A = this chain, B = another copy of it.
């Protein structure tokens, strides 16, 4: 049974506490937040957990095996670093850190100390993405041609990060999980429509070479909520619509066929026709992603299972975020990763 401590009880922290408390493999020994109000509110539901306003108290407890960090991004590096230096395994909220340099340091530190560093790229643990990854790995889709991910909503604007750092890590982590590498270059277009606030709507374009392109649209300003991830392959295509509870994943047995033909005007021309086949919505487990993440965290620590979303991936995601930030600041100039 792993003894864990959760630092940061904002929007996401309490979900982590709940899953750590419910899992048979972990216990939530500490909850920590600088705000006494939040400590009380969350503590009321988890009376068994000790409370601390200062993370130092948590890190000083030799009983604690692992620390879960769900604080604002700017603080990830300092807290994760301190936790690793204290010999604790670390699960950190996405993105891993505020800069690639920080992420790299955390990755190396964890490696050097032989500690687990896991990033909460929670969608990787959803049954839909797990199935999607199996389809890609099995070659059922053929070669990936394009990815179009849309993650827009009328969302509460964050004060510490812009919409790219807030939402895009989800898409970037999923794509990294499927593609396994960073893009060659990034073009990012974005703007703030909320009166001098952070960027609240943006489009990212990732060029992976070898004919693979990915586009990501994130926004806090859409009156309609969309969570769709489209992957087009040479053999099949997949639509992952996270809002379609009944059919989250759909596999389209459709593709294009390129042939040469004579135009009505008698010119030789490239004729591209398309074939249309069945659509299959595979059955998916109903497991809660966060519960599976917590179990995976325990497996990494107790059974040396390689992390599905470890420091390497966390670093790759931050590197793309940094490149996107530079591109957007340069009005969409293409930036190499």
Contacts and interface: CB of A to CB of B under 8 A. Distances in A.
A254 B281 CA distance: 13
Contacts of A35: 264
Contacts of A159: 263, 269-271
B221 A146 contact: yes
B189 A154 contact: no
Interface stretch (A81-89, A172-180, A209-217, A290-298): A209-217
Interface in A196-251: 196-198, 200-201, 203, 205, 211, 213, 215, 217, 219-225, 230, 232, 237, 239, 246-247
A123 to B, nearest CB: 19
Given A215-B189, A274-B154, A334-B331, A221 B282 contact: no
Contacts of A331: 334
Given A239-B223, A276-B283, A193 B145 contact: yes
Nearest to A254: B223
Interface of A: 10, 34-35, 38, 45, 47-48, 145-146, 148, 152, 154-157, 159, 187, 189, 191, 193-198, 200-201, 203, 205, 211, 213, 215, 217, 219-225, 230, 232, 237, 239, 246-247, 252-254, 256, 258, 263-265, 269-274, 276-283, 331-334
- Shortest 7 CB-CB distances between A and B: which pairs? A223-B252, A157-B272, A223-B237, A279-B281, A145-B193, A159-B269, A189-B205
